[in-house]
């Protein structure tokens, strides 16, 4: 049997299932597919060949992903390459240790030792978080953000780097992505050969999967996306043919099971964790499918407001955004223009002034004044440069979601029109993902412009 399970990771998976899981295996096509894909990337490492690509796997929970990737894969690799070194991470050390212990259970099992008697774990280096075999291969387990100094891996396996309960925390996202982008890549035995495998359920537009696609997508990344229901997110697209009645796994994730998960997880949780799209169908807080896209605006728009949300770091994380909005005679709202860029303060101020000149003196300019002396001084300087225009300043109160809610209500009622321009796609995408969007500047500026126009409308008693 040793020769058979060594030649096929999937066969290894089947034979050693009982060593780590007590329930009967419920087979499904995706299990063999993932095993085969992992075997493909592993074979290049065995031969010391430059990797063809890293592997990104997005799949719902309870689909055996951790058993395949984090628990069984390292044990199978050692049957071919006992000197292989693994660095394995998860969002918490405790979770990473659970998978590590199960790998160790496989290696120390009677069945494994009967098949591969020469592969033994060293007694002096046999801990939950780090165990080493007698041929210098090891499996190191870390929580995201943990120290990995002094260790280098042939395989970097990251399984659920983000906790679903903390996925909306900007601080948590930044910490996780920073570790994935700066710490982990430096831990490779050979930068050309070492393979990174990231497996997770989608949780946020900017989660590690989203960042991996944006920064490393293309020939150097194979993206496998298997939502619980058949959607256009399935990747590679030909895998859609494997779905039965529109379901990834009709036994373990039947329609009734999925309905229960949707009820338990809510719209956002279900869209992210099951559908692998971190926004509910049709949009989250903003039902973007109800936006009315228009080629041109009517000539009788009643009021106009250009709202600015300023950022001051050139090529930094945030964007400076100016959204021009107006109201028509029916009381519908129109998004007419979006000026957006990552500018330094000098260039930003010049663009704000230039935009005001192009808009004309009849357009209200709404300017957010951030807290603190720096924000106040920056706002005063902008107002001074806009002498001759009608500038309204305000101090934002409440969180971004609360400020955006009135505008989102109008979007959801089908009362918002958006001109089809080169900025339209990015604008709608930010609304669609909000509040789980990577950037929130366009939403903030739009919400402020809408609130200004709506208050004016109410003040004059309607049109």
Q: Architecture of domain 2-273 in CATH?
A: 3-Layer(aba) Sandwich (3.40)
pLDDT at 377 over 80: no
Query: How many angstroms separate the CA atoms of 119 and 103, rounded?
Result: 13
Q: Where are the domains of the chain?
A: 2-273, 288-459
| Residue that has been written with the tokens 């500047």 in this structure | 441
Q: Give first-to-last CA distance, the chain, whole Å.
A: 82
**Within 10 Å of residue 383's Cβ, how many Cβ atoms?**
16
Q: Using an 8 Å Cβ cutoff, are 438 and 310 in contact?
A: no
Q: What is the pLDDT of residues 2-32, one digit of tens each?
A: 888 889 999 999 999 999 998 999 999 999 9
Q: What is the pLDDT of residues 53-97, one digit of tens each?
A: 999 999 999 999 999 999 999 999 999 999 999 999 999 989 999
Buried b (16+ CB within 10 A) or exposed e, 318-348: ebbbbbbbbbbeeebbbbbbbbbebbebeeb
Query: How many angstroms separate the CA atoms of 68 and 71, rounded?
Result: 6
Mean pLDDT score, 138-157: 94
Give the strand pairing for 54-58 and 195-200. parallel
Burial of 214 (0-12, 13-18, 19+ CB in 10 A): exposed
pLDDT at 372 over 70: no
DSSP per-residue letters across 124-188: EEE-SSEEEETTS-EEEEEETT---TT--BSEEEEE--S-GGGTT-HHHHHHHHHIIIIIGGGGB
To the question of pTM greater than 0.85 for the whole model, the response is no
Q: What is the pLDDT of residues 388-438, one digit of tens each?
A: 899 999 888 888 888 898 999 999 899 999 999 999 999 998 998 888 788
Q: What is the pLDDT of residues 254-292, one digit of tens each?
A: 999 999 998 888 877 888 899 998 876 555 788 888 999
pLDDT at 209 over 70: yes
**Average pLDDT of the chain, as a whole number:** 91
Q: What is the pLDDT of residues 27-60, one digit of tens each?
A: 999 999 999 999 999 999 999 999 999 999 999 9
| Residue that has been written with the tokens 């998004």 in this structure | 335
Rama region for 462: left / alpha / beta (φ>0; ψ in -120 to 50; rest) = left
Instruction: Give the right CATH number for 288-459 from 2.40.100.20, 3.30.420.280, 1.20.210.10, 3.40.50.2300.
Output: 3.30.420.280
């Amino acid at each position: 049997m040793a020769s058979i399970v060594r030649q096929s990771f999937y066969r290894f998976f089947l034979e050693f299932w009982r060593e780590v899981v007590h329930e009967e295996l419920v087979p499904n096509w995706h299990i063999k597919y993932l095993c085969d894909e992992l075997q493909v990337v592993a074979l290049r490492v065995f031969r010391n060949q430059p990797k063809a690509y890293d592997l990104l796997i997005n799949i719902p929970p309870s689909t055996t992903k951790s058993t395949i990737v984090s628990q069984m894969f390292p044990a199978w690799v050692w049957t071919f390459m006992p000197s292989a070194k693994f660095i394995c991470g998860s969002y918490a050390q405790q979770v990473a240790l659970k998978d590590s212990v199960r790998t160790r259970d496989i290696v120390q099992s009677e069945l494994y030792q009967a098949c591969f008697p020469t592969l033994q774990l060293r007694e002096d280096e046999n801990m939950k978080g780090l165990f080493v075999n007698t041929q210098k291969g090891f499996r190191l387990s870390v929580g995201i953000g943990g120290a990995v100094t002094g260790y280098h891996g042939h395989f970097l396996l990251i399984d659920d780097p983000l906790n679903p309960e903390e996925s909306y925390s900007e601080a948590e996202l930044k910490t996780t992505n920073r570790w994935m982008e700066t710490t982990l890549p430096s831990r490779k035995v050979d930068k050309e050969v070492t393979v990174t495998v990231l497996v997770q359920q989608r949780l946020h537009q900017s989660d590690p999967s989203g960042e991996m696609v944006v920064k490393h997508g293309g020939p150097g990344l194979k993206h496998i996306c298997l939502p619980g229901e058949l959607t256009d997110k399935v990747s590679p697209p030909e895998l859609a043919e494997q779905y039965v009645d529109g379901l990834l796994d009709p036994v373990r994730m039947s329609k009734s099971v999925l309905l229960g998960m949707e009820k338990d997880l809510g719209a956002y949780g279900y869209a992210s964790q099951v559908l692998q799209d971190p926004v509910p169908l049709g949009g989250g807080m903003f039902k973007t499918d109800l936006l009315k896209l228009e080629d041109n605006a009517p000539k009788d728009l009643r009021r106009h407001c250009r709202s600015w949300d300023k950022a001051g770091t050139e090529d930094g994380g945030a964007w400076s955004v100016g959204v021009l909005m107006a109201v028509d005679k029916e009381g519908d709202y129109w998004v007419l223009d979006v000026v957006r860029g990552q500018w330094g303060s000098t260039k930003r101020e010049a663009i704000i002034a230039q935009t005001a000149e192009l808009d004309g003196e009849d357009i209200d300019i709404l300017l957010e004044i951030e807290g603190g002396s720096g924000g106040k001084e920056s706002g005063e300087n902008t107002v001074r440069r806009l002498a001759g225009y009608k500038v309204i300043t305000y101090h934002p109160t409440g969180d971004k979601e609360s400020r955006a809610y009135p505008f989102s209500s109008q979007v959801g009622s089908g009362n918002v029109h958006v001109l089809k321009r080169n900025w339209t796609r990015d604008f709608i995408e930010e609304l669609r993902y909000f509040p789980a969007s990577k950037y929130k500047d366009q939403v903030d500026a739009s919400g402020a412009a809408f609130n200004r126009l709506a208050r004016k409308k109410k003040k004059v008693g309607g049109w």
